[in-house]
Chains A and B, each alone.
Chain A
Amino acid sequence: MALLLTKITRTNVIQRVYPLLLLSGLVFFSSAAFANSDGSGVITLSDRCPPSFMLSDDNHCLLRNRYQLYNSLGDHGIGGLKTALPAHRDGFSPQQIDLGRLLFFDPLLSADQSVSCASCHDPNKGFSDGRGLSVGIAGRENSRSAPSLWNSAFVKQFFWDARANSLEEQALSPLFSLQEMGNNPTQLLDSLKAVEAYPRLFKQAFPNREQLTLDSIASALAAFQASLISLNSRYDQYAHGYAEALNAHELEGLNVFRSFVARCSQCHMPPLFTNQQIAVIGTPEPAGMPRDVGAEKTFNSAKLRGGFKVPSLRNIAETAPYMHSGRFATLREAAEFYTGGRGHAVPEGEELLLHWHISEPNLSSDELDRLVDFMRTLSDSSLLPAIPESVPSGLKTISEKQYEQN
Chain B
Amino acid sequence: MNRTKTLGVLIVLAAFIGGWQWGQQGNDTPQITSSVGGASFAGGFQPESGDAVNTALPARSAIGQTLVVNPGESIQAAVETAQPGDTIQVMPGIYSETVYIDKNDIHLVGVIQAGERATLDGLGKLNDAILYSGNNILIENFKITRYKGNGIMSQAGNNFEIRNNIVIDTGIYGIFPQLGTNGLIEHNVVSGIADAAIYVGMSDNIHVAHNEVFDSVAGIEIENSRHAIVENNYAHHNTGGILAFITPGLPIKTTYDVIIRNNFILDNNTPNFGAPGSTVAGIPAGTGILVMAADDVIIEGNIIVNHKVAGILINDHGNASGLTLDPGADPNADRVMILDNVMHNNGYETIDEVRAFALTELHTGDIDIFQIGPSDGSCIINRHRYHHVGIGDFGECDFTNTDSIHNYLLAGGAKPRVIEPAERGEIAYLGICAGCHAYNNVLIGPAVKDIQAMYADNAKGIASYINAPFKIRPEYPEMPAQNYLDAETQLAVARYLLTLDK
Q: Give A contacts to B, CB under 8 Å.
A: 2, 5, 10-14, 17-18, 21, 28-30, 32-33, 48, 51-54, 64-66, 68-74, 76, 78-83, 229, 231-232, 237-238, 240-245, 251, 255-256, 258-262, 265, 269-270, 275-280, 299, 301-304, 307, 342, 353-356, 358-360, 382-383
Contact = CB atoms under 8 A, between A and B. Distances in A.
B150 A14 contact: no
B157 A80 contact: yes
Contact of B417 (A11, A71, A238, A259): A71
B127 A256 contact: yes
25 contacts: A5-B477, A5-B478, A11-B481, A13-B477, A64-B426, A64-B427, A66-B428, A72-B156, A72-B179, A73-B156, A73-B180, A74-B204, A78-B202, A80-B155, A80-B157, A80-B179, A82-B156, A232-B431, A232-B432, A240-B485, A259-B150, A259-B153, A261-B149, A280-B324, A304-B325
Contacts of A229: 431
B427 A73 contact: no
Nearest to B433: A51
B40 interface: no
A105 B458 CA distance: 42
Contact of B149 (A74, A260, A299, A303): A260
Contact of B427 (A66, A238, A262): A66
A11 B484 CA distance: 10
Nearest to B100: A255
Contacts of B428: 66
B362 interface: no
Interface string B446-486: 00000000000000000000000000001001111101111
A83 B250 CA distance: 17
Given A13-B477, A73-B203, A261-B128, A81 B430 contact: no
A97 to B, nearest CB: 14
B58 to A, nearest CB: 15
B148 interface: yes
Contacts of B74: none
B405 interface: no
Contacts of A255: 98, 100, 127-128, 131
Nearest to A18: B444
Interface stretch (B229-237, B275-283, B367-375): B275-283
Contact of A76 (B98, B133, B180, B251): B251
A353 B443 contact: no
A354 B278 CA distance: 10
Contacts of B64: none
Nearest to B439: A48
Nearest to B429: A64
Given A14-B436, A383-B435, 7 more contacts: A5-B478, A11-B481, A13-B479, A28-B443, A243-B80, A276-B251, A356-B249
Contacts of B443: 28-29, 33
B442 interface: yes
Contacts of A29: 443
A269 B326 CA distance: 18
A255 B153 CA distance: 11
B354 interface: no
B72 interface: no
Contacts of A32: 438, 440-441
A278 B156 CA distance: 22
Given A81-B134, A261-B128, A275 B441 contact: no
A81 B277 contact: no
B251 A304 contact: no
A64 to B, nearest CB: 4
Interface stretch (B168-176, B210-218, B262-270): B168-176
A339 to B, nearest CB: 13
A83 B324 contact: no
A80 B251 CA distance: 14
Contacts of A73: 156, 179-181, 202-204, 252
Interface in B153-187: 153-157, 171-173, 176, 179-181
Contacts of A66: 427-428, 431-432
B102 interface: yes
B36 interface: no
Contacts of B477: 5, 13, 17
A64 B430 contact: yes
A244 B424 CA distance: 21
B431 A260 contact: no
Nearest to B153: A260
A14 B474 CA distance: 16
A83 B179 CA distance: 10
Contact of A53 (B131, B202, B252, B430): B430
Contacts of A18: 444
Nearest to B199: A260
B327 A299 contact: yes
B63 interface: no
Given A66-B428, A259-B128, A360 B156 contact: no
A11 B249 CA distance: 40
B226 to A, nearest CB: 8
B152 to A, nearest CB: 11
A265 B156 CA distance: 12
B427 A70 contact: no
Nearest to B428: A66
Contacts of A241: 103, 486
Nearest to A360: B275
Contacts of B154: 80
A78 B180 CA distance: 10
Contacts of B435: 14, 51-52, 232, 382-383
A166 B329 CA distance: 21
A10 B471 CA distance: 11
B114 interface: no
Contacts of B157: 80
Nearest to B249: A277
Given A17-B477, A240-B484, A360-B275, A69 B417 contact: yes
Contact of B441 (A33, A279, A383): A33
Interface string B180-208: 11000000000000000000001110000
Interface string B412-431: 00101101000010111011
B52 interface: no
A48 B435 CA distance: 13
B128 A260 contact: yes
Contact of A303 (B127, B131, B324, B436): B324
A269 B435 CA distance: 26
B47 interface: no
A293 to B, nearest CB: 14
Nearest to B180: A73
B434 interface: yes
A177 B414 CA distance: 49
Nearest to B426: A64
Contacts of B479: 13
A11 B480 contact: yes
Given A66-B427, A69-B419, A255-B127, A78 B480 contact: no
A97 B348 CA distance: 67
B188 to A, nearest CB: 17
Nearest to B480: A13
Interface string B337-372: 000000000000000000000000000000000000
A382 B434 CA distance: 10
Nearest to B150: A260
A81 B127 contact: no
A359 B276 CA distance: 8
B322 interface: yes
Nearest first, the 3 closest Cβ-Cβ pairs linking A and B are A79-B156, A80-B156, A80-B133
A69 B442 CA distance: 29
A354 to B, nearest CB: 6
